[in-house]
Amino acid sequence: MPIAILEEHNDLADSVRSFVARVAPSEVLHEALENPIPNPPPYWKAAAEQGLQGVHLSEDVGGQGFGILELAIVAAEFGYGAVPGPFVPSAIASALIAAHDPKAEVLTGLASGEVIAAYAIDSGLTATRHGNGLVIRGEVRAVPAAAQASVLVLPVAIESGEEWVVLDADALEIEPVPSVDPLRPVAHVRANAVEVGDERVLSSVSRDLARALITTVLSAECIGVARWATDTASEYAKIREQFGRPIGQFQAIKHKCAGMIAETERATSAVWDAARAIDEELQGNSETASSFEFAAAVAATLAPVAAQHCAQDCIQVHGGIGFTWEHDTNVYYRRAIVLAAAFGRHADYPQQVVDTATSTGMRSIDIDLDPDTLKLREEIRAEVAALKAIPKEERNTAIAEGGWVQPHLPKPWGRASNPIEQIIIAQEFSTGRVKRPQMGIAAWIIPSIVAYGTEAQQQRFLPPTFRGEMIWCQLFSEPGAGSDLASLTTKATKVDGGWRITGQKIWTTGAQFSAWGALLARTDPSAPKHQGITYFLLDMKSEGVEVKPLRELTGNAMFNTVFIDDVFVPDDMVLGEVNRGWEVSRNTLTNERVSIGSSEPPFLASLDQFVDFVRDGHFDQIEQNEAGRLIAEGHAAKLLNMRSTLLTLAGGDPMPAAAISKLLSMKTGQGYAEFGVSSFGTDAAVGDHGQPSGKWAEYLLAGRATTIYGGTSEVQLNIIAERLLGLPRDP
């Protein structure tokens, strides 16, 4: 999935993608490996005519008047095409100048393509004050596109700190040197007492803003590389055959490709947010002074690693042919290596994530809705306030009867709320501090009762469930049928007035507290695997139902084994049609509910708790680097969920972001606990729950369940590979 969410951004991405495919096909890339790239490249004029060099520049200088988010979308598509030449370095340089003065004279030439610029993120340049200007000396190594540029934007150390200065290439000594990526030439740059006036100093661009801007655009190019590698590996896995079948059918390849798209999507969400944060800063709308700094550091922590990992895995999936000079994998792996180098010291970014998160705080994750929704918000706010005024003992009934518990459901059970209204309701209940009854497992069962239940079933079960008075459990998994529900063996035999059911269910959350359960049983053993299954509503007090708490490795018993011994279930407790239970059970996976932020299990450490832990502890640089990586991953997982919501609002498919968010957030949650426990040294052996070490040990033990329940990570990887990447199913 590209960075773009909104229709206009998707149109921009499509346009640039089409342009890149025309001007930089594979043969052009390989030609550039062997021969110097013309300056400007052959596509330069056409790109300027399409307005690409100035997409982020003011209309006053001939640009298109957009922002860094639009530039990031363009850079990602150029990364996807591994486009040769100085486009991205020049765009970064022009963005730095525009951040200082959107109407700077040099920007006119940059927007039109008549001028090419370059930049550096680190340098050995120093400056001394001389009259109304500076005298600059020193060397900058490995400057991207320096030999192709007529203007360079370089950081210079002066007494007051570090400033970026605009220098003419003619005043500098530029020495081209071999680049690991011949398509992205580099050169050493030397300044020997070069004099520049103060008007060439980008004094209004702080060091933090400059580095954030540079790394965000670089990160966008990185995710383009990662996305190309993911797509290319997946497509090859569909057609390359070994041992008589496509290699994409082998789980090892399937999981590798799924891991690639997961890492790419996580980095994409971070880049998207970083670009938005910088635009907010440039427009004076930033929530805090460090918001853009944190967001950019998260992107820089994740994106270059994603590009390298995916390029490496793409080579691995291709096998021997991927290691040849002739294959495009060669081009993209080289680009990934040079891009990673362009960030400077990679360890700086996880450290910046930690420093910002534990001092000024993480960037908040929230959804800003269109001002046109203000009237609706005011109406909902007034209704929430009225609910808050109701006595507590009566409030849950009013909330349930008003359809507030699950507002996406049709009336009278919900409010038939569209995604925007659902978000406003969630926000207003949160800010108004009005708690809605918690549904727990029932949240998965209610939509099926609404969609398939008889009127009698709906009237009997839904009101008390919405009031929080009726607890449910889900009787799906069996000892021999966990994620593979279609293999269940619990048997239901038709008798007069109902069914006799016998079987065993396991991993049933909260069964010991539940009044009712949603039960799947096989009613036609001769039917194909996914057919012949019926969905029953089971009274957990029925004769023959025995619940045995299943003590987990934590010592607690959240799960249960449920024995069902010749239990009678009347006909009116069949939900939906007999033998169509698979269809009913799938309903809960496709209902149109949206949420804000990723859910974090209460028995695991949350991202906020982890940040507090790191803030209060004492860790060396290696540990802080690891903590920064985990914070970046956790924040990006929440962003994935937010993007899923925004995709729903935009009419897009939220499935990719939602599926990947579940996979990654659970793994990251385990990482918090592993980090916490490892920090206690010998005290990690102390299991006293009243002590910090005992609490984190509990998180560590409980966390092992998160990559198992709801479909193991391995099953999730299969689903991602098959449904999102189109890899062939297992035979």
Catalytic residues: 592
With beta carbons less than 8 A apart as the criterion, state whether 350 and 358 touch.
no
Q: Which two tokens stand for residue 613?
A: 């832990």
Closest to 136 (Cα-Cα) out of 102, 100, 167: 167
Burial class of residue 360 in the structure, from the number of CB atoms within 10 Å of its CB (0-12 exposed, 13-18 middle, 19+ buried): middle
Helix (H, G, I), strand (E, B) or coil at 541: coil
C-alpha 604, offset from chain centre: 20
Pinpoint the alpha helices (H) of 50-193. Answer: 68-80, 87-100, 106-112
Q: Which of 5, 12, 166 is nearest to 77 (CA)?
A: 12
CB 226 within 8 A of CB 266: no
Tell me phi and psi for residue 474, to 5 degrees: -115, 115
What would you measure as the largest C-alpha separation in the chain, in angstroms? 102
Hey, is 562 helix, strand or coil?
Answer: strand
Q: Are 65 and 51 in contact (CB under 8 A)?
A: no
Give dist(CA 137, CA 719) in Å, integer: 57
Separation between Cα atoms, residue 687 and residue 203, nearest integer Å: 55
Burial zone of 425 (CB within 10 Å; 0-12 exposed, 13-18 middle, 19+ buried)? buried
> How many angstroms separate the CA atoms of 123 and 154, rounded?
7
Q: Find all residues with CB under 8 Å of 583, minimum gap 6, and list them.
A: 576
Reading the block at residue 84, the tokens are 């040769």
Closest CA to 660 of 675, 679, 638: 638
H/E stretch holding 722 reads none
Two tokens at 87? 């486009």
Residue tagged 């593979």 (tokens): 484
CA distance 548 to 400: 32
In this structure, are residues 210 and 164 in contact, taking their beta carbons and an 8 Å threshold?
yes
Of 359, 299, 363, nearest to 614 by C-alpha is 359
Tell me the backbone φ, ψ of residue 146, rounded to 5 degrees.
-60, -40
535 sits in which H/E element: strand 533-539
Indicate the DSSP class of residue 36: P
Per-residue CA distances from 700 to 73, 399, 670 (Å): 39, 37, 7
Which residues have C-beta within 8 Å of that of residue 578, sequence separation ≥ 6? 523, 534
